[in-house]
Structures are given as C-alpha cells and as structure tokens.
Amino acid sequence: MNLTGWIERDGVRLSPADAERMLEDEPEALARCGGEFLLTYGDCTARDALGIMPGPVPPGTVCCDGREVARITPDPAPCTLEEAIVTAVSLRSDEGAVAFSGGVDSALVAHLARLPCVVVGLRGSHDVRRAAAAARMMELDLDIVTPTEEEVAEALARVVRVIPDPTNPLEASIATTLSFVAAWAEEHGHTRILAGQGADELFGGYARYLTSPDLAAELERDFADLGRQRTRDQAVAALHGAYFSMPYLDVRVVRAARAIPAEEKVRGGVRKHPLRKIAELHIPAEIARSEKKAMQYGSGIWRTMRRLARDNGYKKSVQGYLTDISRAEHDY
C-alpha cells in the first residue's frame, strides 16, 4: 500500500499502518474516509472525495483494474461552522507550514495550526507589510520571501510548463506567487502547505459579490470552478515536492458553509460575514474584520509581470508575453 497525503475516519487520523489494516479487515470502510489522499493498494487506486490530492482517478472514487468499484463519501457527525473549521485545521496540523497573507482566511488557519508561516511579496509590498504586522500581533513564526524581478521571471518560466492555462495572465500570476511558497516549503523540509483556498467561494469573499444580481448562483458557479484552481495550485506545488492542504475545503466546513444562506455571507457591505464572526473569537478583531488584496496584486507579482512584459517588447499585452514564454518552454 502507498499513501500520499493523509487520511481520517470519523475525525481520527489514520497512520499508513492503520489504513493498511483497515483495507485488510474492512475495505468497504474506505468509503467513509475523509482527508486529502491518493491511496494505492494492489491494483486499486482511491482518491479523496473533493479531489484535493491529484491522481489518475476521478475525485471520490475507488478504481480497480481501471473500473470504478466504489465511491468515497465521508459523512462525519454534524457540527457548527466553528467546530468544523477547528477540526479541519487540527487534522492537518501535525506537520507542514501555512501560506500566510495576514488576511482573515490564512490568519485563522495560522492561529489554529501554530505552524511556521510564510508570506511572499516584493520588498515593501502590501502583503509583506500586512503579514508582518499580523504575525507580530498574533505571535506567529513568519518567514518573508521577497523575490527579485529576475526570480519572478524564472518562476514564471517554470509554472507555464505545468499549469492548465499558461497564457492567462491571472492564472500565471497566481501560480507564480504560489510557486515561491512551495519553493520555500521545499527548502525548509515541508511537504504540506496549509492554505486558505476555498474561503472566498464558500463565504463570499470576492469584491464582485457586493454587486452580484444573483449571489447564490454566482457562489455556486465559483465553487464548481474550484477543481480547476486546485489542479493549477497542486501542479505548481508538485514542482517542489509539496502539496497545498485546504482546511476550508474539508467536508465538514463545506457542508456547514453551504448551509448558510447567500444573503448571510455578504451583508451590510461586509464580505465573508460568517467567517469573520468566527475568526473574531480566535484572532484580533482588527485582523478578522479587515479586507485584503488578492495575492497576485498584494504580493506585487502582477505588477512585476506587467513590467517584464513591457521590458520584453509587449507594451500592452501580458498575454502575448506569456504566449511566447509558454511556446519557448514547451518547445524546450
């Protein structure tokens, strides 16, 4: 048996030896297992319910000899949203690091996990200033990665080889930012990186939600798009032998969050209202209530990409610059 990631049943973490014994004694119990895993045993492969861990079979399936033989549908005991988040972080906190920006999503995870934290941003960028201030306030162990323009260009060339949409400027800028997080993790001996992905889609975090004509439908569409985002992020992490672990996409958190009406998630001009109320119970209210920029903007990576495009003769088209890089890298 080979286990990549981690596995749990009914809120109890299973060691590889525990999982092997379970498969020998009660293989059908795998259908109730949660976690973030790719599990191979004999001629069978199993992948976690949401497909957090990349693999050759569809999310939430057990396939043997190329045929689906079972579905993985964990059904943990009902709990409150706060209990769900606390449990989700606890299950992931035995090792690893936290991708930290100082915003409410990562700050709550970092406080609960008490793991080393890392922020990526050009010198003097919004995210570096914000994360450093939040880490001091919360007494967190924070490393700051400040890439140079040359390092951004090198990272960009690497990520366009592996992400699904390499010529999309937004996708490339997010992937490049995350690549520095994953590189830091590799350098410091971590394979698991706890991150805040999914919080915006579950709780209504994007600015456009404030004026959405049909918030419930828009949240649903964005949640459905998370699979594409996970493919991008995990491809980047894999370049450095790591993976992104996502507490907000734990089955408990997803179930509790999706039970909250859309109008409760964005109300009174406040985005992610339910998450902020819970965060205030654990972290300073100043951090729980404050807004932040998207990582590609707050880190300064997007601005650097635009400058690189101009310097390489693409005065108005970052996409044109990415297209040429992608062609060169794939030809290579």
The domain spans of the chain are 2-71, 81-298
Q: And the tokens for 237?
A: 């992490």
Amino acid 297: pLDDT: 85
Residue 62 Cα to chain centre, angstroms: 24
Max Cα-Cα span within the chain: 64
CATH architecture of structural domain 81-298: 3-Layer(aba) Sandwich (3.40)
Q: How many CA atoms lie within 13 A of 10 on its CB side?
A: 1
| Interior/surface letters 223-234, b for 16+ CB within 10 angstroms, e for the rest | beebeebbbbbb
Amino acid 321: pLDDT: 84
Q: And the tokens for 187?
A: 């350098």
Write out residues in the chain with pLDDT < 50, as ranges. Answer: 332
Residue 109 CB neighbours (<10 A): 28
Taking a C-beta distance cutoff of 8 angstroms, is the pair 113, 93 a contact? yes
Amino acid 35: pLDDT: 97
Classified as helix, coil or strand, 192 is: strand
d(CA 48, CA 100): 25
d(CA 9, CA 17): 14
Amino acid 323: pLDDT: 86
Q: Name residue 2's beta-bridge partners.
A: 40
Amino acid 329: pLDDT: 64
d(CA 177, CA 157): 13
Amino acid 330: pLDDT: 62
How many residues make up the chain in this entry? 332
Q: Are strands 12-14 and 2-9 parallel, antiparallel or unpaired?
A: antiparallel
Compute the chain's Rg from CA coordinates. Answer: 20
d(CA 19, CA 39): 9
Placement of tokens 């490339």 in the chain: 172
d(CA 57, CA 39): 11
